[in-house]
């Protein structure tokens, strides 16, 4: 019991601090009369990446999670090109491409002798194709630089009602299967053969939904941080799976709310400030864990 007490104390401390920070941030933001669509979009980002990051950490899918934003950028730009050629909704095209890419590369990684090499090839290919498609959109199709920059750095504060509705649906599509299949996704052993189980398919699908479907809210650059950091923080604080999910979710919500709060008086990027908060929190959690270890010794 003496060994576990520091863990539970640290967990309670983090939980209280994150809840208070999130509530205070959104209270101040609401008082500042920020567009409610922006607040809803911020909450969607916090919930989606908080839940996703926890599962990524539990299944040790860091290599694929770090690579997925590269496929998201390519999917988003290619979706725009397909929309210009055949019509439809560019975001829907992007999501379809993103889901296909991640499931294909996950299979290739699984059957490859070296997953690091396979991931590196995938990142290299999608990064190169992203440059090609972005160049085409900018120089040939004359798509505005603002539209392209929104995919790279995000436009959380300029969302439309339609996009917020889509973000809400994407969040629900991420949350519901994770809640239903959570313990299976956490404890089911990873398959090392060419067989793909249902948890893999769900995981890669929701990863694509988050990275591609919410890319205009977060931006391509910050998706790496939002996917990796909340789960990493939770792994240093919590012992139980449900506690890790709570910490990851609360950390992500606190980060997005604080980022939006800082934006109000300064105009700084909400996603960028959220990333700074997440990295800083991770450093603090590591320092506290080391201090806790010295105390236990």
Structure tokens of 150?
A: 């929104």
pLDDT of residue 106: 78
State the pLDDT confidence band at 246, using cuts at 50, 70 and 90. very high
Task: Give me the pLDDT at residue 7, please.
Answer: 57
pLDDT recorded at residue 196: 60
Structure confidence at residue 277 as a pLDDT band (50, 70, 90) = very high
Whether 143 shows a pLDDT value over 60: the answer reads yes
Q: What is the pLDDT of residue 1?
A: 40
- Residue 10 has, within 13 A of its CA and on its CB side, a CA count of 23
Q: Confidence class of residue 11 from pLDDT cuts 50, 70 and 90?
A: confident
Reading the block at residue 163, the tokens are 């996009």
Mean residue pLDDT across the chain: 85
Name which of 170, 146, 162 is nearest 72 in CA terms. 170
Kindly provide the b/e burial profile for residues 22-32, where b requires at least 16 CB atoms within 10 angstroms of the residue's own CB: beebbeebeee
The whole-number pLDDT of residue 203 equals 85
* CATH assignment at residue 221: 1.10.3470.10
Per-residue pLDDT averaged across 44-64, rounded?
88
Buried (b) or exposed (e) across 119-138, using 16+ Cβ within 10 A?
beebbeebeebbeebbebbe
Listed ranges 57-66, 149-158, 208-217; the one with the highest mean pLDDT: 208-217
Lowest mean pLDDT among 109-123, 168-182, 183-197, 253-267: 183-197
Q: How many Cβ atoms sit within 10 Å of the Cβ of residue 225?
A: 23
- Find out whether 217 and 47 touch, Cβ atoms under 8 Å: no
Number of domains in the chain: 1
> By residue range, what is the domain housing residue 275?
5-296
Percentage of the chain beyond pLDDT 90 is 37
Q: What is the pTM of this model?
A: 0.87
Q: What pLDDT was estimated at residue 257?
A: 94
* Model pLDDT, residue 114: 72
């Amino acid at each position: 019991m003496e060994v576990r007490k520091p863990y539970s104390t640290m967990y309670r401390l983090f939980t209280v601090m994150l809840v208070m920070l999130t509530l205070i941030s959104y209270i101040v933001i609401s008082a500042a009369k920020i567009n409610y669509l922006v607040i809803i979009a911020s909450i969607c980002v916090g919930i989606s990446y908080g839940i996703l990051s926890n599962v990524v950490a539990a299944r040790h899918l860091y290599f694929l999670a770090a690579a997925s934003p590269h496929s998201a950028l390519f999917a988003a730009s290619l979706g725009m090109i397909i929309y210009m050629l055949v019509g439809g909704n560019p975001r829907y095209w992007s999501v379809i491409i993103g889901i296909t890419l991640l499931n294909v590369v996950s299979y290739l990684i699984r059957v490859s002798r070296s997953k690091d090499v396979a991931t590196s090839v995938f990142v290299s290919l999608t990064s190169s194709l992203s440059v090609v498609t972005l160049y085409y959109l900018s120089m040939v199709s004359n798509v505005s630089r603002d539209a392209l920059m929104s995919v790279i750095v995000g436009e959380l504060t300029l969302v439309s009602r339609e996009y917020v509705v889509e973000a809400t649906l994407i969040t629900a599509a991420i949350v519901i299967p994770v809640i239903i299949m959570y313990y299976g996704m956490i404890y089911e052993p990873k398959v090392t053969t060419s067989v793909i189980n249902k948890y893999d398919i769900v995981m890669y699908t929701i990863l694509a939904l988050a990275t591609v479907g919410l890319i205009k809210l977060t931006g391509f650059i910050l998706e790496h941080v939002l996917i990796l950091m909340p789960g990493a923080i939770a792994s240093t604080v919590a012992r139980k799976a449900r506690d890790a999910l709570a910490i990851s979710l609360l950390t992500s919500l606190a980060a997005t709310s604080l980022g939006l709060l800082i934006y109000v008086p300064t105009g700084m990027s909400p996603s960028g400030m959220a990333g700074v908060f997440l990295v800083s929190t991770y450093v603090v959690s590591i320092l506290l864990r080391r201090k806790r270890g010295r105390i236990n010794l």
